[in-house]
Amino acid sequence: MLERSDKHLPKDMRASINKAYRAREVTLVNELIKTATLLPEQVMAVKNFATGLVEKVRAERKKSTGIDSFLTEYALSSDEGIALMCLAEALLRVPDNATIDSLIKDKLATADWKSHRGQSDSFFVNATTWALMLTGKVLTPKRADSLLSKALLKVLNRSGEGVVRKAVEKAMRIMSKQFVMGRTISEASLRAKKKEAIGYRYSYDMLGEAALTKIDAARYFTAYSNAIEVIGKHAETSKSVYQRPGISIKLSALHPRYQEAQRERVLEELPHKLLALAQAARKYDIALTIDAEESERLDLSLDIIEKVFSNDSLDGWQGFGIAVQSYQKRAFFLLDWIAALARKHYRRIMVRLIKGAYWDSEIKKTQMQGLIDYPVFTRKVFTDVSFQACAKKILTMTDAIYPQFATHNAYSAAMILTLVGDYRDFEFQCLHGMGNELYEQIVPANQLGIPCRIYAPVGSHEDLLPYLVRRLLENGANSSFVNRIVDEKAPISSLVEDPVAKATSLLNKPNANIVLPDALFMPERLNSRGFDFSDRETVQQLKLTYEKMDFSHWQAKPLLANKAETAVEHSVTSPQDRNKPIGCLAEATIDDVQTALTSAKEAYMAWNNKPVEERANCLVKIADLLEENKALLMAMLCKEAGKTWNDSLSEVREAIDFCRYYAAIAIDLMAKPKRLQGYTGELNELSLHGRGIALCISPWNFPLAIFTGQVVAALVTGNCVIAKPAEQTPLIAATAVKLMYEAGIPKQVLQLLPGSGEVIGSALVNDLRIKAILFTGSNQTADIINQTLATRGGEIIPFIAETGGQNAMIVDSSALLEQVVVDAINSAFGSAGQRCSALRVLYVQEEVYPRLIELLKGTMAELQLGDPQWLSTDIGPVIDQDALQVLKDHVNAMQQQYEIIYQCELPEACENGYFMPPTVIAIDSITALKKEIFGPVLHVVRYKRKELDKVIHDINSTGYGLTLGIHSRINQQVEYIRKRIHAGNCYVNRNMIGAVVGLQPFGGEGLSGTGPKAGGPYYLLRLCHERTYTVDTTAAGGNASLMSLPES
């Protein structure tokens, strides 16, 4: 009997959950093993039980529908398996035949289907293999080496590609049907009757990914509501809520901004929708389960769940359910909170215990964000231990929890059945189309008579696709039990191993393939550390740090080896509030320029002669100090440059990465001369040395990262540096230089001269003591510098220029439009569009243009504009009034000839800052733009597939060559485009900003820059002199080394 507990849930329960979020894996698994461990006789019983299950599954496999066998034959470790996955993901949503034909050729023509012929006992698999093999031969003329293939080629030539297209489309639809219960809830309910009669139950999932727009969210809400009505009206009234069908709900489908950064808005809007659905489910006494999603959403979901579950209108209803992912480190502790919530309100909660379906993305995201540890286990066996520990814990909480064990694993099923004994108030769960043979031994009355609820997706193929691929990825991977249970080559003993015993043997053996994010680039360097903005404690600490900062102490002035001339100070204001001073600036004078040059020339020889290891060590210390002062630097980037939390953090991390990367590269290049192989009796060595004084001119759009990258690159190669920061962002530069001094860089070696380009910059560029210039900024300024260097006389010096770009993204009709929209918005409007890599022109194939524009407008309507000091802000201000006016003038001019598709609304709170609303303009070609527009303005072009070569020509005709984005599922199309467009950085099926040091060296060609690429292996070479050293080693006598060679 469930007893009501105290009114309020203990706060330490949430604290325990949060503590485990990114806990050390070894420590946590050690604790879980204590609960998960079975008695020796239980382990033996489970193994024997599981062995019997596996043997029967294998015996029954020939009678199966074929999906399990299909996944075995076409595992995702094979090229053919990957080809099928890509084809299934894209084919059914492509609207035009020409693109469908290209997609089929791309995925099927090069695969080795012959090697799979006759390898399976399943007719389904062999029939599919023959079809794919024949299709492959039809599409590959070079392989037409048999009478059959020649005959097929004739058929193709006679009938056209439509024959192949229809056959493959039909095959994909049949394959899709294996995973989807029905196109509508009525169709799915009707199809369920047969299995319900045997003892199966159903939980229906209205297929679809996260909502991007209000329209999406409203559509999903309506679909859920209608589904509840249909399910409820057809449910047998004589059955309990546990026996009736239910529905599964994704919270991300109910709100377009379901994320921690938008917590206040989400908690205001989303619970009402969920409560309405729960009340509808309660009306019919059917189950409603909240699906588990990405780990970063868990904390927010618990707030929503508690708020809804606590509503009095749900009293007496036992159908509320929560999915718990055992691959999450928090799962074991989450169960305590769920049980406490149930006891508080005197009603049980259904708990669907699953392994988890987002593992690969959780790992990648954590690595990219540089977080302290993973939210999920890095070994499958550790997840198995967690599942076992959670299962045992749930079985001690049956007063508060109705257990639902979701697994296709025979060992896990046998473990549950061994633990429960005669207890029957629970159920298994499985995915529709999978694990049929396993549960046929458990569910029917003539077997064990234990119910299994089938998680049954419902929806059209457009909504199905992302789900289908996730199922293929999750269950088709070689490590998956579903794959191995029907693989005769896998010994049964390997399928029924005790996870506790295996995990114990691996505890002190870290997964070498998945190192901690810190060590991702080791042994070369440490990865920069990020902040987890989904962790409320982290966010709260950052907010407190921001609030305590005294902006009045922020100051920029010339930082010289000798005392600078006294200059008049003036205030620096914030771009989000022109009326708010955030510090003061004293600009350098012409006398300061001469002082700096004199000091730098005097210090050069000593600095250049220091061992490179010492210089590199200074860079490592700079990186460490930047890391320690990350919150301060983020606040400065926010206040002085108008950067959001995410953009500020990314910039600090980039600066840190520059330091560590260049330190490592410098040691590799300069630690010892390179011995050049040649003829005997002579020594030939090549060594690298500094050039002298380097001038670093950095921009305002990356006032820390690019500033730091330029400076440390010049320093580590043995040069002295005079840094001239952007006029708009001197405070950040001054703070960075002070940290560099603290790290051990002598003041004579690095000096800062804030001031105007016309005065300070010009004086420095014209001085013959400057031996290298590193510049990032506009083409106009780069031209002036280049002309000055050509006319000033003296030696020809290196000039590294990084300038702008007229950057395009090409989207064909095979692309996933939801992903395109997210990537396009991030690329065009991130950092308020003030990145040289930002997307300026989006080319969209005409067949998908209307849908993409609809999604783009709806998603833009959800963007939050405002003061970047708030985590919820998506887009902040542009840098100053001049920049704002240029953007406004451009939009005004364009609307005289072209359509303004959409422009975001500016909140009243933006009136004191330099805010430009994100704007989308439809144009006919990139050639309509006569200059780079540096801000949140995106131009969209509709193109015909047959016009692709013209699109490529027009993009190249701009003369720029910085970044390019391509969204396509057709590899041959991607290759065709990237080999023809001149771009320094090409990004495929992702956004096109945020180049990572050492991974995506950044820089363009043509009007976009001179190279070499920043953050790449060749950048430092441009800052060095090369010197060859040759010695005749026989000058004092014979060739001793030659004469002493042994006989061979």
Phi-psi region of 833 (alpha: psi -120 to 50; beta: other; left: phi over 0): left
Q: Which of 802, 818, 862, 932 is catalytic?
A: 802
Burial 714-739 (b: 16+ CB within 10 A, else e): bbbbbbbbbbbbbbbbbbbbbbbbeb
Question: Cα–Cα–Cα angle for 643, 644, 645, nearest 5°?
Answer: 120
Cα 128 from Cα 192, distance rounded (Å): 26
Do residues 642 and 874 make contact, with C-beta atoms less than 8 angstroms apart? no
Count CB atoms within 10 A of the CB of residue 103. Answer: 26
Nearest to 908 by CA among 867, 964, 854: 867
Could you give the angle at which helices 380-394 and 499-506 cross, rounded to 10 degrees?
Answer: 130
**CA–CA gap between residue 382 and residue 28 (Å, rounded):** 10
Catalytic (active site) residue 802: yes
Torsion sign, CA atoms 794, 796, 800, 801: positive
Strand partners, 930: none
Contacts 24+ apart (CB under 8 A), 1031-1040: 1031/682, 1031/683, 1032/681, 1032/682, 1033/681, 1033/682, 1033/683, 1034/681, 1034/682, 1039/680, 1039/681
Q: How far apart are CA 760 and CA 696, in angstroms?
A: 12
Is 161 annotated in the active site?
A: no
Buried b (16+ CB within 10 A) or exposed e, 558-594: bbbbeebeebeeeebbbbbbeeeebbbbbbbbeebbe
DSSP symbols for 752-796: E--S-IIIIIHHHHH-TTEEEEEEES-HHHHHHHHHHHHHS-SS-
Q: Residue 109 in 3-state DSSP?
A: coil
> Residues 430, 836, 910, 1024: which is the catalytic one?
836
Tokens for 359?
Answer: 């593992």
Cis, peptide link before residue 523, omega less than 30° from 0: yes
CA separation (Å) from 117 to 75, 111, 136, 149, 558? 15, 13, 13, 16, 75
User: Residue 940 carries which side chain, given as an amino acid letter?
Assistant: V
SS3 for 628-683 is HCHHHHHHHHHHHHCCCHHHHHHHHHHHHHHHHHHHHHHHHHHCCCEECCCCCCEE
User: Rounded to the nearest 5°, which phi and psi values hold at 270?
Assistant: -75, -40
Please state whether beta strands 963-967 and 320-325 pair in parallel, antiparallel, or not at all (unpaired): unpaired
Show the CA angle centred on residue 685, arms to residues 692 and 749, nearest 5°. 20
Question: CA-CA distances (angstroms) from residue 373 to 294, 362, 378, 605?
Answer: 15, 11, 10, 44
The count of other CB atoms within 10 Å of the CB of residue 628 is: 11
Angle, vertex CA 1040, rays to CA 1037 and CA 1044, nearest 5: 155
Whole-number Å distance between alpha carbons of 616 and 661:
10
CA distance 279 to 288: 10
Q: Which contiguous run of DSSP H or E holds residue 1042?
A: helix 1040-1043
Phi, psi of 969 (to 5 degrees): -100, 5
- Report CA 593 to chain centroid distance, whole Å: 45
Q: Is 648 exposed, middle or buried (0-12, 13-18, 19+ CB in 10 A)?
A: buried
The closest of 315, 934, 502 to 493, measured between CA atoms, is: 502
Q: Which residues are paired to 810 by β-bridges?
A: 843, 966
- Comparing C-alpha atoms, which of 114, 111, 144 is closest to residue 130? 114
Q: Which residues are catalytic?
A: 802, 836
